Structure 1
Amino acid sequence: MTEYTLIYVPDPALRAKSQPVSTFGAELRELVDNMARVMREEKGVGLAAPQLGISQRVIVLEVAQALERDGELIEPVPLTALINPQITPVGNDKAEGWEGCLSIPGQRGYVERWRHITYTAQDINGRAVQGRASDFHARIIQHEVDHLDGILYTDRTDQVETFVRPAS
């Protein structure tokens, strides 16, 4: 099994537009498994393949249990892999919120995102999937889809703060 590791800014792979996935099988399953492993080890809630240096349109996300973040109750989201995702805003409602990124440790920024989105994608077997997400769930998907286009959250804000990550 190939072991993938997280890459960090300023690695140019984080700024490249990812290629659509056209082959579904064992190699894709291995990538998704590795992405979930890295995301969990790093205590993240989402990860895009470019963050492992892989130029493929693949994201994973998971909120394992309900939690409170910046005064907001966040509902659990089961482990989800979206292949070739596309998002569409629902309505005009946007919200600002703090975001961080595993590829930019020690920073977070205040970013405006759509509150409600729908998405279409493929699952790990290539079957079409669609869904709807709101609030933090929608924020995660938008953040990770941005990675697929070489966009970092720091491109969407001028409100960035630096902090020291507490030792775990």
Structure 2
Amino acid sequence: MITMDDIIRDGHPTLRKVAEEVEMPPSDEDKQILKSLLEYVINSQDTEVCSRYGLRPGIGLAAPQINVSKRMIAVHLTDEKGVLYSYALFNPKIISHSVEKAYLESGEGCLSVDEVIPGYVPRYARITVKGTNLDGEAVKLRLKGYPAICFQHEIDHLNGIMFYDHIDKTNPFRRIEGAIVINR
């Protein structure tokens, strides 16, 4: 089971590397790593498990965050309509996106970043992601709003990008022209 001790923190060199593609079919070890990423985000949303193991709640986790520089992410969240998005993907890739932007009004956080970094993080409002699930099946997801933001955050980790890299350094709360504001 992954705990906070397994999650590397901001400044660790692995977080700035471009992660390697996972060879298909994935090895048993890669499958186990991906399962454990999903298990962490699910466990971290259970208050009892959180307090027992000292977990910080999260909705997504990428393999580089546990010092494994491979293209694997797990996401577990519900959108504003209560629809559950629970995915563990090998080699996820954004294959298309909207011109329109969106951002979380509350800003973004990260399990690898201990301090709060205020500011708006511009993202695409809608994306299409392709990847491979734990059963080796090709998955194609059309995402918008909160789920789209989460997937972009996790895929950024695979490319050595941190959420705060997107924040306007001179004016972190500058309104993003024409963007959809998402309240979570």
Report TM bin, short chain.
Answer: 0.7 to 0.9
SS in 2 for 1:87: strand
Shift, 1:120, TM fit: 0.8
1:107 maps to 116
Moved over 6 A (4+): 1-4
Shift, 1:76, TM fit: 3.9
SS in 1 for 2:121: strand
- TM score, norm. by length of structure 1: 0.81
Shift, 1:82, TM fit: 1.3
Kindly report which structure 2 residues correspond to 1:1-150, keeping only aligned pairs within 5 A, or say none. 5-22=6-23, 23-39=25-41, 40=44, 41-63=55-77, 73=80, 75-97=82-104, 98-108=107-117, 109-150=119-160
Percent identity between the two aligned chains: 32
Retained in 1: the 8 A contact 2:95–2:129?
yes
Shift, 1:123, TM fit: 1.1
Kindly provide the amino acid, as one letter, of the partner of residue 95 in structure 2.
T
Q: Which whole-Å deviations, capped at 9, do the CAs of 1:30-87 have from their partners, x for residues lacking one?
A: 1022212333242100010000000100000001x56xxxxxx363433211110111
Aligned residues, how many?
153
* Cα distance in structure 2, aligned partners of 1:110 and 1:52: 26
Unpaired runs of at least 5, structure 1: 67-72, 161-168
- TM score, norm. by length of structure 2: 0.75
Shift, 1:125, TM fit: 3.1
* Cα distance in structure 2, aligned partners of 1:143 and 1:125: 24
Shift, 1:145, TM fit: 0.3
* Cα distance in structure 2, aligned partners of 1:135 and 1:125: 27
Q: Which whole-Å deviations, capped at 9, do the CAs of 1:116-165 have from their partners, x for residues lacking one?
A: 000111111332111100000000000000000000011111228xxxxx
SS in 1 for 2:111: coil
Retained in 2: the 8 A contact 1:85–1:122?
yes
User: What's the C-alpha RMSD, in Å, of the aligned pairs?
Assistant: 2.2
Retained in 1: the 8 A contact 2:94–2:129?
yes
